């Protein structure tokens, strides 16, 4: 709400000239509509050119409006002619009639998306087009008949839309021997390493090896019976061509058909597994070090506290992580604590520390001298993540 309000306020403060420079020749009341709006005009060659667009059009397509004003539609979307979208829009402007359709187009910073589009004639031979992104709706459609209703008004065929979805899609039909594959899109062929001509008509457990063992067969059966969509966060896949992990959504389609929409998450799973192993390894190394090691976030909270820190201070990691109160316990004298905390904030502001000596009070009341070394931790962009602090018990001095 706040972001929308700020855009409204911004437009209200703009002069007509500033509005035209930023959005082109588009009625002001269209600028903040929550759906994409683009205005086209015909050039001397009879081709559609961008005359203006609103905020949402910019957000959906990723195209900066001032950069595309005056450009021909087919320059921005070369597939518009092949798919029939351009012909439909030209027909709408010449015959002065509205048209509804579904089409796909590439989007800046993303794969191509699927759009629901409605054109409407405007005065002076101009054409208005409203559109919204329906990629996810089509990719994960629960009811096949809803998809078909949309496609009846579409100038492109059903197969073109399904082929445009950037996820694998398989449609299964229940038969006596199980669930049989009746169709799959090109992305499914690529992800599974299977040719649709070879796979069509075969049982689902041939397409998805190990379905029974991993519970997929039972899920497909339950979706077919109950009509309830089921999501599988991670399923291991292995056949003679491919091996990896997929995220699946199993949904009821038309009649008793069952659809499976899936994405390859192998890279993500491997990264998470590698990160988990690396974290375990690093924690073991840090816990084995005969040094007090802790991490502090930019607000001064403890985020890591190793075993030596526990042994020297007497306070467990569970007692101190995420809490600033540990400083009150280690340094009970307020004046001394303020001095130490000021030094710690100085470290977080960019100054490293070596051989900084303090005296802590452990949980049992013993006073212990600690020699500190500290340095900042930053991410790849230079943003401060916190501070790494290493302490050596004073009695270990040589």
> 66: helix, coil or strand?
helix
The CATH number assigned to the domain with range 2-139 reads: 3.30.450.20
Distance between CA atoms of residues 398 and 395, nearest Å: 8
Q: What is the pLDDT of residue 313?
A: 92
Radius of gyration (C-alpha) of the chain in whole angstroms: 31
Q: What is the pLDDT of residue 39?
A: 93
Within 10 angstroms of residue 42's Cβ, the number of other Cβ atoms is 17
* Residues 283, 284, 285, 290, Cα dihedral to 10°: 100
β-sheet bridge partners, residue 296:
302, 387
Sheet (strand 302-305) strand order: 302-305, 292-296, 384-393, 367-378, 353-361
Q: What is the pLDDT of residue 206?
A: 79
Q: What is the pLDDT of residue 105?
A: 64
Rounded to the nearest 5°, which phi and psi values hold at 302? -75, 130
The single residue listed with the structure tokens 């340094």 is: 331
Q: What is the pLDDT of residue 278?
A: 73
The CATH number assigned to the domain with range 289-396 reads: 3.30.450.20
Q: What is the pLDDT of residue 363?
A: 92
Q: Please determine whether the domains at 2-139 and 167-268 fall in the same fold group of CATH.
A: yes
Distance between CA atoms of residues 64 and 20, nearest Å: 14
Strands (E), 270-381: 292-296, 302-305, 353-361, 367-378
Q: Which of 172, 333, 314 is nearest to 254 (CA)?
A: 172
Within 10 angstroms of residue 38's Cβ, the number of other Cβ atoms is 27
What pLDDT tens digit does each residue of the chain (398 aa) get?
Answer: 444 445 556 777 788 888 899 999 988 888 888 888 999 998 878 889 999 999 888 888 888 999 999 999 888 887 777 677 888 889 888 899 988 887 766 565 556 677 888 898 888 889 999 888 877 766 555 344 554 455 445 434 445 555 656 788 888 998 887 899 888 888 888 888 888 888 888 888 878 888 888 888 899 889 888 888 988 888 888 877 778 889 999 998 877 889 898 988 888 888 888 778 777 766 776 777 788 888 888 887 888 888 889 999 999 988 898 877 888 899 999 899 888 877 777 666 666 677 888 899 999 999 999 888 888 888 778 888 888 888 888 754 44
Q: What is the pLDDT of residue 1?
A: 41
Q: What is the pLDDT of residue 143?
A: 45
Within 10 angstroms of residue 390's Cβ, the number of other Cβ atoms is 19
* Residues 74, 80, 82, 85, Cα dihedral to 10°: -130
Q: What is the pLDDT of residue 347?
A: 67
Domain coordinates of the chain in residue numbers? 2-139, 167-268, 289-396
Superfamily designation of domain 167-268? PAS domain (3.30.450.20)
Q: What is the pLDDT of residue 151?
A: 46
- For residue 44, CA distances in Å to 48, 97, 123, 180 come to 10, 21, 17, 55
């Amino acid at each position: 709400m706040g972001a929308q309000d700020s855009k409204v306020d911004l437009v209200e403060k703009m002069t007509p000239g500033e509005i035209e420079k930023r959005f082109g020749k588009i009625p002001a009341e269209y600028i903040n509509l929550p759906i994409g709006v683009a205005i086209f005009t015909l050039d001397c060659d009879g081709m559609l050119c961008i005359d203006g667009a609103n905020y949402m059009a910019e957000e959906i397509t990723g195209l900066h409006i001032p950069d595309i004003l005056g450009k021909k539609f087919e320059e921005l979307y070369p597939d518009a002619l092949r798919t029939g979208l351009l012909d439909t829009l030209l027909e709408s402007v010449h015959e002065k009639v509205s048209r509804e359709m579904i089409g796909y187009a590439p989007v800046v910073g993303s794969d191509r998306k699927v759009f629901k589009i409605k054109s409407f004639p405007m005065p002076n031979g101009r054409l208005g087009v409203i559109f919204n992104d329906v990629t996810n709706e089509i990719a994960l459609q629960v009811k096949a008949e809803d998809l078909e209703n949309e496609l009846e008004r579409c100038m492109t065929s059903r197969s073109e839309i399904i082929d445009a979805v950037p996820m694998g899609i398989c449609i299964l039909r229940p038969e006596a021997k199980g669930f049989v594959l009746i169709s799959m899109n090109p992305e499914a062929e690529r992800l599974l390493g299977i040719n649709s001509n070879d796979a069509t008509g075969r049982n689902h457990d041939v397409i998805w090896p190990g379905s029974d063992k991993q519970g997929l067969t039972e899920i497909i059966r339950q979706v077919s019976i109950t009509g309830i969509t089921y999501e599988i966060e991670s399923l291991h896949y292995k056949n003679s061509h491919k091996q990896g992990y997929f995220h699946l959504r199993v949904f009821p389609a038309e009649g008793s058909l069952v659809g499976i929409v899936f994405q390859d998450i192998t890279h993500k799973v491997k990264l998470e597994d590698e990160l988990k192993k690396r974290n375990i390894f690093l924690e073991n190394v840090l816990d084995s070090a005969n040094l007090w090691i802790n991490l502090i976030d930019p607000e001064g909270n403890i985020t890591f506290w190793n075993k030596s820190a526990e042994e020297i201070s007497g306070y467990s990691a569970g007692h101190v992580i995420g809490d600033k109160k540990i400083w009150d316990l280690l340094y009970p004298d307020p004046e001394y604590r303020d001095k130490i905390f000021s030094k710690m904030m100085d470290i977080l502001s960019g100054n490293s520390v070596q051989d900084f000596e303090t005296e802590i009070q452990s949980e049992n009341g013993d006073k212990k001298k600690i020699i500190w070394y500290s340095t900042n931790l930053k991410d790849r962009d230079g943003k401060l993540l916190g501070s790494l602090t290493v302490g050596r018990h004073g009695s270990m001095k040589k």
